[in-house]
Amino acid sequence: MQHAPDSPDQLPPTPDYDAWPVETRLSTVEHQPHLVTLHWQDGRTSHYHSIWLRENAADDSTVNPATRERTLDLSRLGAWPTVEAARLDDTGALSVTFAPEQRTLRFHPGWLRAHDYSNTEHIDAPLVPVTVWTGDRHDAPHSLDAAGWLEREPEAPDAQALLESALTAVLSHGLVRLRNLPTEPGTLARIAERIGPLRSTNFGSLFDVRAKPDPDSNAYTSIALPPHVDLPTREYQPGLQLLHCLENSVAGGQAVMMDGFAVAEALRERDPYAFETLTRVKWCYANTARTSDYVWYAPMIRRDDSGRLSEVRIADFLRGPLMAPFDDVEPAYAALTTLQRMLHEPHFAMRFTYHPGDLVIFDNRRLLHARDAFAGDSGQRWLQGCYLERDEIRSRLRMLRRAERERRVASLVTGDTPTL
């Protein structure tokens, strides 16, 4: 069952540019000085602290109307904001009078419902749930036919749908493959900008992966590359890597991808001490080239504040000399060689051959990529690559979801939406 607000166009503004469908209405409100309790028509009860409500108001005393950025400084209010009165107004919105300001502010019910922290269990749940995989169960990247995609307007519904599928796959499985894209050099920049701005590095904005006469990276030779992330020598490794195949006629050179989180989880299970060691000891990652000298010290496996895996930093050919406390050195190498042996186990890896027009987008802080050696004289192998941050995928996906919410708000107002 759905309820359109009584006077939808008179609902208060929200503190952002987003759209918040009102899919259930408020029925009653209670208050104490520090708390407002809302009862919804679907039976839910929500609690909001007075200070939280005060700072999240959307009026001109709180938010700059031109930018929707906050201008309120709580510490200037003179006292902790408390609730003097709270009621539902005739648009269905919450109206609260705050002391010490004696200011009455209105709150949009759709926005309140979406930000009901008193009923939110996983505050910082990822936008898309993470699915950890191994190559024996997931033997090829999720693939989408992108023929014609780049020629369509980014706003076209089918172009948006393809992008949403692709970004969702990157957030869940860490990678996606788009097929049948153009093979003109430089196309990658146009593709990447459909997601967000590129991250340039000392290798340039777009880089060419092919055997070079005077290579400044093992990537630019024809030798095999072990499973690795790119640029572990940076304080923050790039969050995303895009590799776009322009030519591939060599013998060998198969692409290998594995989920670093699957390897890390397996290590935790088989050898918890090795796992703990790799989350603790800081390895040296170094790329001392002729014209740059990047060095960073970090553990090989990272968890976030909630204990979830957040990053692997594995790249044997970019490790510099370990400079750990003396007694950590042997345990660190023991853990490393255990991990290295696991990286050779075939069941972790998926293997595939790049075809011209393929683009693989993958999470460079989670996935490990590798390649088999190839015969440099057997043909041409040319990939173009670039980096982006994971922020760009999340922002783009939120924009796509926002567009969907806008359509829902519109249909609620016109009343032409079917059941939820």
Does 321 bind a copy of itself (CB under 8 A)? Our answer is yes
Does 64 bind a copy of itself (CB under 8 A)? Our answer is yes
Q: Which stretch binds a copy of itself (CB under 8 A): 43-51, 132-140, 244-252, 257-265?
A: 43-51
C-beta of 305 vs 377, nearer to a copy of itself: 305
CB 401 within 8 A of CB 172: no
Between CA 261 and CA 305 the distance in angstroms is 16
Near a copy of itself by CB under 8 A: residue from 84, 89, 216, 265:
216
Does 317 bind a copy of itself (CB under 8 A)? Our answer is yes
Q: Which stretch binds a copy of itself (CB under 8 A): 86-94, 182-190, 192-200, 353-361?
A: 192-200
C-beta of 119 vs 414, nearer to a copy of itself: 119
C-beta of 137 vs 326, nearer to a copy of itself: 326
Q: Which residues 91-130 are close enough to bind a copy of itself by CB under 8 A? A: 115, 117-118, 120, 123-124
C-beta of 22 vs 225, nearer to a copy of itself: 225
C-beta of 18 vs 89, nearer to a copy of itself: 18
As beta bridge partners, residue 47 has 37
**Residue 268, SS3?**
helix
Using N-to-C axis directions, what is the helix angle for 272-280 and 329-343, rounded to 10°? 110
Q: Which residues 353-412 are close enough to bind a copy of itself by CB under 8 A? A: 389-391, 394-395, 398-399, 402
Does 158 bind a copy of itself (CB under 8 A)? Our answer is no
Near a copy of itself by CB under 8 A: residue from 28, 41, 45, 288:
288
Near a copy of itself by CB under 8 A: residue from 9, 66, 137, 153:
66
Between CA 355 and CA 246 the distance in angstroms is 8
Pairing of strands 143-145, 175-179: parallel
- Among 7, 258, 309, 2, residue whose Cα is nearest residue 138: 258
As beta bridge partners, residue 37 has 30, 47
Rounded to the nearest whole angstrom, what is the least distance from the CB of residue 1 to a copy of itself in the complex? Answer: 27
Between CA 232 and CA 285 the distance in angstroms is 6
Does 156 bind a copy of itself (CB under 8 A)? Our answer is no
Q: Which stretch binds a copy of itself (CB under 8 A): 60-68, 144-152, 167-175, 353-361?
A: 60-68
Q: Which stretch binds a copy of itself (CB under 8 A): 180-188, 327-335, 372-380, 410-418?
A: 327-335
CB 357 within 8 A of CB 184: no
Rounded to the nearest whole angstrom, what is the least distance from the CB of residue 324 to a copy of itself in the complex? Answer: 6
Between CA 113 and CA 261 the distance in angstroms is 34
Q: Which stretch binds a copy of itself (CB under 8 A): 2-10, 45-53, 94-102, 410-418?
A: 45-53
Alpha-carbon distance values, 30 to 39, 150, 200 (Å): 8, 53, 53
Near a copy of itself by CB under 8 A: residue from 3, 25, 70, 103:
70
Q: How far is Cα of residue 176 from the mean position of the Cα atoms in its chain?
A: 14
Q: Which stretch binds a copy of itself (CB under 8 A): 21-29, 170-178, 310-318, 405-413?
A: 310-318
As beta bridge partners, residue 319 has 285
Helix runs in 73-176, H state only:
109-114, 157-173
Contact residues for 181 (Cβ-Cβ < 8 A; gap 6+) = 146, 147, 149, 150, 187, 191, 244, 357, 358, 359
What is the arrangement of strands in the sheet containing 367-371, beginning at the earlier edge strand? 225-228, 367-371, 255-259, 349-352
Contact residues for 69 (Cβ-Cβ < 8 A; gap 6+) = 63
Residue 399's φ and ψ, nearest 5 degrees, are -65, -40
Rounded to the nearest whole angstrom, what is the least distance from the CB of residue 219 to a copy of itself in the complex? Answer: 9
Rounded to the nearest whole angstrom, what is the least distance from the CB of residue 310 to a copy of itself in the complex? Answer: 10
CB 37 within 8 A of CB 52: no
Q: Which stretch binds a copy of itself (CB under 8 A): 179-187, 196-204, 257-265, 377-385?
A: 196-204
Rounded to the nearest whole angstrom, what is the least distance from the CB of residue 160 to a copy of itself in the complex? Answer: 14
Between CA 18 and CA 398 the distance in angstroms is 10
Does 142 bind a copy of itself (CB under 8 A)? Our answer is no
Between CA 1 and CA 321 the distance in angstroms is 64
Q: Which stretch binds a copy of itself (CB under 8 A): 1-9, 135-143, 294-302, 350-358?
A: 294-302
Between CA 12 and CA 19 the distance in angstroms is 12
Does 44 bind a copy of itself (CB under 8 A)? Our answer is no
Q: Which residues 222-281 are close enough to bind a copy of itself by CB under 8 A? A: 223, 226, 233-236, 239, 280
Q: Which residues 20-39 are close enough to bind a copy of itself by CB under 8 A? A: 34
